[in-house]
């Protein structure tokens, strides 16, 4: 079993150990550890159990895709990982800090310092230039104006948009907008890059372009977490977590995931 | 977010929506404009009253005895009729009054009326002529531009000589030196011995239309019935007790009018303070009007700003979501919208201050009302502007700050 399984047993076992030690702060090397994460919504009197106890452990420098059909809870999990929401039960440790018990302002600080968001709809400020959009996280981090500008310029150059800094979002193509968003996500050097359907609004060529950017970032040591419902996008990640009905259904390396798709067909994952 | 950043953001937002911003701040602009204009006019009148009017007409440290007050407040028909029945002040009252005062106190008696004035260069015109006695010129602090004041000897003898004001000089002696020329006052010739310096004007009415002759000259028979005079002015020396002087005059006059203790005074003792208190009474009413009317504009302005800010929060829900996702705390969002509302309304106030000052100047230019721009009213205008913005921004800003980032991001 161990020889066919490309993930060494020791890593999986380690993950299991770290997700079982309730109340214990994980080692710094574990960027994300969730233990029994639960989240329920009241939809007009009907209780929807979006997450029913999710245990996930992600190490620094991993490139992970979170997959699942709609209603699987992947958006809820992304909101929790992104500190936009707090769980009803369970623990969420981000970079060794217990985020699940934090108050509003602390969560804002964590979002600012630890997380870089990339959204499906880009979510750039329409009236601000690319440069100003990228500067925004630094504004809330309290970085002085001249340093802010320098760092934002650097981030835009890293995504090959050095010549588009003064353009507004409506003057940029979809791929360029998403690259501005990636520059904005990275400008504060976050622990994780959290992408929500990053190619959802892009054609396949541009999607490949964005995936190459992600690949480059992951190779460079950036922790990347990507939520998607497209198996071929998920297949770019090195590890794929599949959610179903608010639980983790599978957690495999890319190669194993690709095998499964071929065995069961995309429909088995996609439903 | 730093304060400067927030203001820059607010200005950018206002620039993007110029027309909307303009209408938003119109209420505040109008409110502050009227505040500045009304306060400027009231302040102008006030400094005028305190420095010029009282000084010119009454004088500091001066007490005036009349049978009817010259500057009176509200008065009923019955009170007015009572005043008209009062006994007049007589020239024979002057000596007993002066004797009751500390030695060295200056005094003057005068009777005046409009009489026909003429010269060989101008037609007769009805103008005010005064018959005076005592230290009239030094109490009035009236200096001569040319010639001299009336001498004690002329006063004692009733010599037919006059001191005239600037307007009389130019009207009756055009392009001539009036000194030693003849002026006909009520048909009799008087020799001009002095031309007074310009006395300025009050609310556009010139104070240079006067003719002053000795009381004992024939003029006294023209301006009043025998022995009757219009006013006795007393000027106390530097440190004298004004209240005590007034009380002394009062007791002497009550004695001379044979009033019983139960009867009220049937004469008036006026001071610069009593004239000022009359003015203060008017001023307080004007200030209330000057504050209440702009306040209505400001309330309307505040409601408009609050509405516009609520719309802005609704329109920019997604922006708020983005900012929150990128690490904006509640207080960052709160201060962003508060600063925006305050900036908007402070700009409105600044425009209002500008127009208000202009309006006050225009009113001052086209009407006799004076205008003084009070620095405190400008500061008040700015503070009121910022205050209105902050107060009307609190509710929309707190709504914005409490938005849930997830649903805010989902909004189209």
Give the tens place of pLDDT for each residue, B31-45.
899 888 888 888 888
Band of pLDDT at residue B201, cut at 50, 70 and 90 = confident
- A168 touches B at CB < 8 Å: no
Q: Which pLDDT value is given to residue B74?
A: 67
Selected residues 48-77 of chain A with any CB under 8 Å from a CB in chain B: none
Residues on chain B touching A119 (C-beta within 8 angstroms)? 409
> Which residue has better confidence, A85 or A21?
A85
The CATH number linked to A139 is 3.40.50.300
Q: Please indicate, yes or no, if residue A173 is contained in any of the structural domains.
A: yes
Tell me the percentage of chain B whose pLDDT exceeds 70.
95
- A106 touches B at CB < 8 Å: no
Asked which of A4-8, A135-139, B136-140 is least confident by mean pLDDT, the reply is A4-8
B134: which strand partners?
B108
**Number of structural domains found in chain A:** 1
B323 sits in which H/E element: helix B317-325
Residues on chain A touching B325 (C-beta within 8 angstroms)? 82, 84, 111, 117, 123
CB-based contact A108 B321, cutoff 8 Å: no
- B379 touches A at CB < 8 Å: no
Supply the angle between the helices A204-219 and A174-186 in degrees, to the nearest 10.
20
C-alpha dist (Å) from residue A233 to A33, A212, A245, B184: 24, 11, 21, 114
Q: Please indicate, yes or no, if residue A182 is contained in any of the structural domains.
A: yes
Distance in Å, alpha carbon of B331 to nearest chain A alpha carbon: 9
Residue A50 predicted with pLDDT over 60: yes
Distance in Å, alpha carbon of A137 to nearest chain B alpha carbon: 5
Closest CB to B325 among A105, A117, A139: A117
B163: which strand partners?
B194, B212
**Which of A108, A138, A148, A155 is the mutation pick for testing B, counting most B CBs within 10 A?**
A108
- What is the torsion angle, in degrees rounded to the nearest 10, for the CA atoms of residue B158, residue B161, residue B166 and residue B168? 100
Contact B211, B126 (CB under 8 A): no
Closest CB to A140 among B1, B405, B409: B1
CB-based contact A112 B12, cutoff 8 Å: no
- B5 touches A at CB < 8 Å: yes
By C-alpha distance, which of A169, A226, A173 is closest to A199? A226
**Which of B7, B13, B323, B325 is the mutation pick for testing A, counting most A CBs within 10 A?**
B325
Q: What is the pLDDT of residues A143-176, one digit of tens each?
A: 999 999 999 999 999 999 999 999 999 999 999 9
Closest chain A residue to the Cα of B332, Cα to Cα: A140
Q: Which pLDDT value is given to residue A3?
A: 46
Locate the domains of chain B by residue range: 3-46+291-410, 87-266
Contact B160, B191 (CB under 8 A): yes
pTM higher than 0.90, yes or no?
A: no
CB-based contact B325 A104, cutoff 8 Å: no
Closest chain B residue to the Cα of A109, Cα to Cα: B327
Q: Please indicate, yes or no, if residue A27 is contained in any of the structural domains.
A: no
Q: What is the pLDDT of residues B156-176, one digit of tens each?
A: 999 999 999 999 999 999 999
- A108 touches B at CB < 8 Å: yes
Tell me the percentage of chain B whose pLDDT exceeds 90.
53
By C-alpha distance, which of A10, A14, A57, A66 is closest to A35? A57
CB-based contact A117 B326, cutoff 8 Å: yes
Residue A2 predicted with pLDDT over 50: no
φ/ψ of A24, rounded to 5, equals -100, 130
Q: Which domain holds residue A245?
A: 60-84+103-270
Q: What is the pLDDT of residues B300-328, one digit of tens each?
A: 889 999 999 999 899 999 999 999 999 99
CB-based contact A139 B1, cutoff 8 Å: yes
Residues on chain B touching A125 (C-beta within 8 angstroms)? 319, 322
Burial (CB count within 10 angstroms: exposed 0-12, middle 13-18, buried 19+), residue A93: buried
Q: 10 Å Cβ neighbour count for B192?
A: 24
CB-based contact A142 B2, cutoff 8 Å: yes
- A85 touches B at CB < 8 Å: yes
Residues on chain B touching A105 (C-beta within 8 angstroms)? 329-331
In B173-259, the DSSP E strands lie at 182-185, 188-196, 201-202, 205-206, 211-214, 228-229, 231-235
Q: Please indicate, yes or no, if residue A258 is contained in any of the structural domains.
A: yes
Q: Please indicate, yes or no, if residue A50 is contained in any of the structural domains.
A: no
Closest CB to B16 among A84, A108, A127: A127
């Amino acid at each position: 079993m161990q020889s066919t399984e490309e993930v060494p047993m020791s890593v999986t076992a380690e993950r299991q150990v770290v997700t079982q030690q309730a109340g214990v702060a994980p080692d710094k090397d574990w960027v994300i550890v969730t233990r029994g994460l639960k989240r329920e919504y009241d939809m007009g009197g009907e209780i929807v159990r979006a997450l029913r106890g999710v245990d996930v452990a992600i190490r620094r420098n991993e490139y992970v895709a979170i997959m699942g059909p709609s209603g699987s809870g992947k958006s809820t999990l992304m909101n929790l990982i992104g500190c936009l929401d707090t769980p009803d039960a369970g623990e969420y440790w981000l970079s060794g800090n217990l985020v699940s018990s934090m108050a509003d302002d602390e969560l804002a600080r964590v979002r600012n310092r630890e997380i870089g968001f990339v959204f499906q709809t880009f979510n750039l400020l329409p009236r601000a230039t690319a440069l100003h959009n990228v500067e925004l996280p630094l504004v809330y981090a309290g970085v002085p104006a001249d340093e802010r500008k320098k760092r934002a310029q650097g981030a835009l150059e890293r995504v090959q948009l050095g010549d588009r800094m003064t353009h507004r979002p409506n003057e940029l193509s979809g791929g360029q907008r998403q690259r501005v968003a990636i520059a904005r996500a990275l400008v504060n050097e976050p622990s994780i890059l959290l992408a929500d359907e990053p190619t959802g609004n892009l054609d396949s060529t541009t999607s490949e372009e964005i995936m190459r950017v992600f690949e480059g970032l992951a190779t460079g040591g950036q922790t990347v977490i990507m939520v998607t419902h497209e198996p071929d996008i998920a297949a770019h990640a090195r590890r794929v977590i599949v959610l179903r009905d608010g639980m983790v259904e599978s957690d495999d390396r890319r190669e194993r995931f690709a095998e499964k798709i071929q065995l069961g067909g995309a429909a088995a994952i996609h439903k | 977010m730093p304060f400067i950043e927030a203001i820059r953001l607010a200005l950018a937002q206002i620039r993007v929506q110029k027309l909307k911003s303009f209408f938003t701040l119109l209420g505040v602009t109008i409110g502050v404009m009227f505040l500045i204009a009304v306060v400027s006019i009231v302040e102008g009148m006030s400094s005028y009253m305190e420095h010029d009017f009282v000084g010119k007409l009454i004088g500091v440290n001066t007490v005036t005895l009349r049978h009817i007050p010259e500057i009176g407040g509200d008065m009923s028909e019955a009170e007015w009729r009572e005043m008209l029945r009062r006994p007049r002040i007589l020239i024979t009252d002057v000596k007993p009054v002066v004797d009751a005062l500390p030695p060295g106190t200056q005094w003057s008696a005068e009777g005046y009326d409009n009489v026909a004035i003429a010269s060989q260069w101008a037609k007769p015109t009805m103008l005010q002529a005064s018959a005076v006695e005592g230290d009239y010129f030094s109490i009035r602090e009236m200096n001569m531009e040319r010639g001299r004041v009336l001498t004690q000897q002329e006063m004692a003898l009733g010599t037919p000589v006059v001191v005239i004001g600037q307007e009389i000089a130019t009207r009756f002696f055009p392009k001539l030196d009036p000194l030693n020329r003849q002026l006909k006052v009520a048909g009799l010739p008087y020799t001009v011995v002095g031309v007074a310096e310009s006395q300025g004007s009050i609310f556009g009415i010139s104070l240079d239309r006067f003719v002053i002759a000795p009381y004992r000259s024939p003029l006294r028979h023209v301006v009043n019935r025998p022995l009757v005079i219009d006013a006795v002015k007393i000027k106390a020396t530097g440190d004298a007790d004004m209240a005590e002087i007034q009380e002394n005059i009062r007791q002497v006059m009550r004695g001379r009018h044979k009033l019983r203790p139960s009867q009220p005074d049937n004469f008036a003792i006026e001071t610069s303070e009593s004239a000022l208190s009359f003015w203060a009474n008017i001023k307080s009413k004007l200030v209330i009007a000057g504050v209440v009317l702009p306040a209505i504009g400001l309330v309307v302005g505040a409601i408009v700003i609050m509405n516009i800010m609520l719309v802005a929060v609704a329109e920019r829900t997604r922006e708020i979501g983005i900012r929150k996702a990128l690490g904006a705390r509640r207080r960052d969002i709160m201060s962003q919208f508060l600063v925006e509302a305050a900036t908007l309304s402070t700009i409105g106030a600044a425009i209002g201050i500008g127009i208000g000052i202009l309006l006050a100047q225009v009113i001052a230019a086209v009407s006799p009302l004076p205008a003084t721009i009070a620095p405190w009213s400008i500061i008040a205008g700015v503070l009121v502007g910022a205050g209105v913005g902050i107060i009307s921004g609190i509710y929309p800003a707190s709504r914005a700050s409490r938005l849930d980032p997830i649903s805010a991001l989902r909004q189209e």
